[in-house]
Amino acid sequence: MKYGIALFPSKRIQDFANSYRKRYDSHYALIPPHLTLKEPFEADDQQIKEMVKELRKIAAETDLIPLKVTKFSSFYPASNVIYLKVEPNETLQRLYERLHSGIFADKPEYVFVPHITIGRDLPSAEYADVYGQLQMQKVHFEETVDRFHLLYQLENGSWTVYETFLVGGKEQE
């Protein structure tokens, strides 16, 4: 089965992101606005049991996660992806690194750029027009996130939460 690890921002940020995603993101119906911490990976039931134990440990040792969203940005020319930039911080970086070491060890395809995708698969002309307009907008959100999620992919391509992990020394619900 295919799994991934992500964190979901507050409803306020999700609503803001979705106001663009419904028009510009081909994955709008598959997953809510999120910040990917670990790209999709394959695992069997036994591996997931071990990973869940390790994720609980990582969560218990992770501080509350500050999120500061500051602007629209893009991965152009690598791809026509438009996103909300999340300012890097030590807590987020350390969590990302822990999710790519030990039993999670892999070589990420890309350098970690914290972001929330709002547009993808746009034709070049539309991308240029949309991104040009979005760049002029002011964006500023600051919040603290107290959990991340192990997700799994359903047959229809959508993602759903397998388990939630509370950070900041909080007890698991």
Query: Which residues form the catalytic set?
Result: 34, 115
DSSP for 101-113, please give it. Answer: SGGG----SS---
Cβ 115 vs Cβ 96: under 8 Å: no
Helices (H), 40-160: 45-60, 90-98, 124-135
How many CB atoms lie under 10 A from the CB of residue 98?
18
Tokens of residue 3, six digits: 């799994």
- Going from the C-alpha of 41 to that of each of 14, 28, 150, 166, the distances in angstroms are 24, 20, 11, 22
**3-class SS at 43?**
coil
The C-alpha atoms of residue 167 and residue 57 are separated, in whole angstroms, by 10
Tokens of residue 117, six digits: 């995708």
